[in-house]
């Protein structure tokens, strides 16, 4: 009997190191490499919103993370142009996951692309940290909170600020020029809801194709509506061209144009003379405080443009992901997602940001007004911050959630 006990003890002692080794291996970063993909619009209508700027921001995040944490694992970055086509984006991401060992994908600028990529990401049990797409379907009907984080902004947050503030100024009748796909439809719907909730009315809307070449027929309908406000439920080059055409048509003499997804790169392209007085919601302003200025000037030195909220958000997303991998010692999706949800986000983009159970990252948004030319003190000094909108007010409340994965 004593001999059997001694033999069992000896065998268990021999097995312990092996078991420990298996456990350690299960908790390690696969292949000792963390691989991040930036999927964005490199050449089309949204390329100035994200594009190369988002790649630069991701590179900065990796550099800063390495300098601060000295990780034992390697970090690699790949990038691709989805051409604003859902099939191109989803096929590229599937290839990344299947053959290149990509762990996390970010930017994903374009809602149709993001919805397709989210399905592949969930199927492959990887992580998508969406910085660029806006449709609230990503945290509602198409939510996948175990794999997808909606990080920077969405159509609810973009609509909430100007829909309420402009309507309360007495500009209470609206007409929409809407990009004819998931993003534009969501932005129009969310803004219309904000307008009517604040006593305004919607007189009509017209849909235009992505990257439209001529806005004249759409603007004629907006003029004919006699609406006090023409809301642009589009973005990037479409917003720039809409605003240019509205000025050329003289529409701005009698109607107020509100760009519902407008960023500092659009204002820079159009100039303060054209855009002064415009109000919209932003998620980041380079000139907000010393921390945003320091980070943004570093970005400018590399990209020759000040960052809008997309590159700033991509930087934050990559940093938050890498910190979670470092803290847990693994790139296992469930473990990293749990850590990211538990950890507050504090960086140049967000203060006390947090990832909600539906995958929505909550952070402050800003209602801004574009300065008059005489008010601008230096290049890219374009905004008055009219209101800081706390994250729990800026984004759709959980009481309105249509995410089936979340119990309310």
How does residue 27 score in pLDDT terms, banded at 50, 70 and 90? low
Given a cut of 80, whether residue 79 has pLDDT beyond it is yes
The whole-number pLDDT of residue 19 equals 37
Gap between the Cα atoms of 185 and 89, Å rounded: 21
CA distance 63 to 67: 6
The residue behind tokens 């919601």 is 281
Q: What is the pLDDT of residues 296-340, one digit of tens each?
A: 999 999 999 999 999 999 999 999 999 999 999 999 999 999 999
Residues 169, 122 share a domain = no
Q: Per the domain annotation, does 23 fall within a domain?
A: no
Residue 348: Cβ-neighbour burial (10 angstroms; 0-12, 13-18, 19+): buried
CA pair distance 206, 222, nearest whole angstrom: 8
| Kind of pairing between the strands at 365-370 and 127-130 | unpaired
- pLDDT tops 80 at residue 245: yes
CB count in 10 Å sphere of residue 297: 11
Nearest C-alpha neighbor of 230 from the set 177, 167, 304, 277: 177
Domain containing 233 — which CATH number? 3.40.50.2300
Q: Residue 254's closest CA among 272, 230, 277, 236?
A: 230
For 61, phi and psi rounded to 5 degrees?
-60, -45
Other CB atoms closer than 10 Å to residue 169's CB: what's the count? 12
DSSP-derived secondary structure for 275-340: HTT-EEEES--TTSSHHHHHHHHHHHHHHSS---HHHHHHHHHHHHHHHHHHHHT---HHHHHHHH
In this structure, the number of other CB atoms found within 10 A of the CB of residue 69 comes to 13
Torsion, Cα 401 391 280 189, to 10 degrees, reads 0
pLDDT tens readout for residues 176-191: 999 999 899 999 999 9
Q: Are residues 219 and 313 in the same domain?
A: no
Q: How confident is the model at residue 276 (pLDDT cuts 50, 70, 90)?
A: very high
pLDDT greater than 80 at residue 7: no
Between residues 283 and 2, which one has the greater pLDDT? 283
Domain count, the chain: 2
For the segment 137-159, the average pLDDT, to the nearest whole number, is 96
Domain limit, last residue, from 218, 250, 282: 282
Percent of the chain with pLDDT over 90: 86
Residues 137 and 88 in one domain: yes
Which pLDDT does position 5 carry in this prediction? 42
pLDDT > 50? residue 346: yes
For the residues 258-270, what does the mean pLDDT come to? Answer: 94
Q: What is the DSSP string of 85-122?
A: -HHHHHHHHHHHHHHS---EEEE--SHHHHHHHHHHHH
Query: What's the CA gap between 130 and 145, in Å, rounded?
Result: 12
Q: What is the pLDDT of residue 407?
A: 73
Question: Do residues 117 and 221 share a domain?
Answer: no
Q: Is the pLDDT of residue 354 over 50?
A: yes
Last residue of one domain, picked from the residues 364, 380, 401: 364
Q: Which of 342, 406, 376, 375 is nearest to 144 (CA)?
A: 406
Running DSSP on this structure, what letter comes out for residue 374? G
In a domain, 26, yes or no: no
For range 53-82, the mean pLDDT: 98
What residue numbers bound the domain in which 61 lies? 33-153+288-364
Is 60 exceeded by the pLDDT of residue 1? no
Confidence check: pLDDT of 238 > 90: yes
pTM: 0.89
Cβ neighbours of residue 243 closer than 8 Å, sequence gap 6 or more: 232, 257, 259, 266, 270, 274, 275
What is the rounded average pLDDT of the residues 262-277? 94
Residue 165's pLDDT is what?
87
Indicate whether 2 pLDDT > 70.
no
- Average pLDDT score, the chain: 92
Instruction: Kindly list the distances between the CA atom of residue 193 and the CA atoms of 22, 227, 295, 396, 399, in Å, as whole numbers in the listed order.
Output: 54, 16, 36, 12, 16
End residue of a domain, out of 256, 282, 308: 282
Query: Is pLDDT above 70 for 132?
Result: yes
Statement to judge: residues 324 and 263 lie in one domain: no
Tell me, yes or no, whether 266 lies in a domain: yes
Give CA–CA dist 358/367, Å, rounded.
Answer: 25
């Amino acid at each position: 009997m004593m001999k059997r006990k001694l033999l069992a003890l000896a065998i268990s002692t021999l097995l312990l190191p092996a078991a420990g080794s298996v456990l350690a291996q299960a908790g390690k970063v696969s292949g000792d490499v963390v691989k991040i993909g930036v999927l964005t619009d490199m050449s089309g209508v949204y390329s100035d919103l994200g594009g190369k700027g988002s790649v630069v921001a991701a590179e900065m995040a990796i550099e800063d993370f390495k300098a601060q944490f000295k990780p034992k694992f390697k970090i690699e970055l790949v990038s691709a142009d989805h051409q604003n086509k859902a099939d191109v984006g989803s096929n590229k991401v599937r290839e990344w996951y299947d053959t290149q060992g990509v762990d996390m994908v970010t930017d994903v600028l374009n809602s149709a692309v993001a919805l397709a990529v989210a399905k592949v990401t969930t199927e492959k049990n990887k992580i998508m940290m969406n910085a660029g797409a806006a449709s609230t379907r990503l945290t509602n009907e198409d939510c996948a909170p175990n794999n997808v984080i909606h990080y920077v902004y969405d159509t609810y947050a973009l609509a909430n600020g100007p829909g309420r503030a402009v309507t309360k100024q007495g500009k209470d009748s609206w007409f929409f020029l809407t990009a004819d796909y998931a993003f534009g439809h969501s932005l129009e719907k969310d803004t219309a809801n904000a307008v009517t909730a604040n006593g305004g009315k919607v007189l009509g809307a017209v849909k235009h194709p992505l990257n439209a070449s001529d806005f004249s027929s759409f603007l004629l309908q907006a003029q004919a509506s006699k609406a006090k406000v023409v809301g642009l439920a589009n973005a990037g080059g479409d917003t720039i061209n809409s605003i240019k055409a509205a000025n050329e048509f003289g529409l701005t003499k009698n109607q107020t144009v509100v760009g519902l997804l407008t960023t500092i790169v659009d204002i820079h392209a159009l100039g303060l003379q054209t855009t002064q007085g415009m109000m919209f919601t932003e998620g980041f302003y380079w000139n907000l405080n010393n921390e945003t200025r320091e980070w943004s000037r570093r970005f400018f030195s590399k990209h020759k443009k000040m960052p809008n909220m997309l590159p700033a958000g991509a930087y934050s997303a990559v940093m938050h992901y890498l910190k979670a991998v470092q803290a847990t010692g693994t790139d296992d999706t469930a473990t990293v997602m749990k850590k990211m949800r538990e950890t507050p986000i504090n960086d140049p983009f967000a203060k006390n940001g947090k990832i909600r159970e539906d995958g929505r990252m909550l952070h402050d948004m800003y209602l801004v007004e574009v300065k008059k030319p005489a008010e601008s003190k230096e290049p890219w000094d374009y905004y008055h911050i009219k209101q800081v909108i706390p994250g729990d007010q800026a984004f759709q409340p959980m009481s309105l959630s249509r995410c089936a994965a979340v119990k309310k």
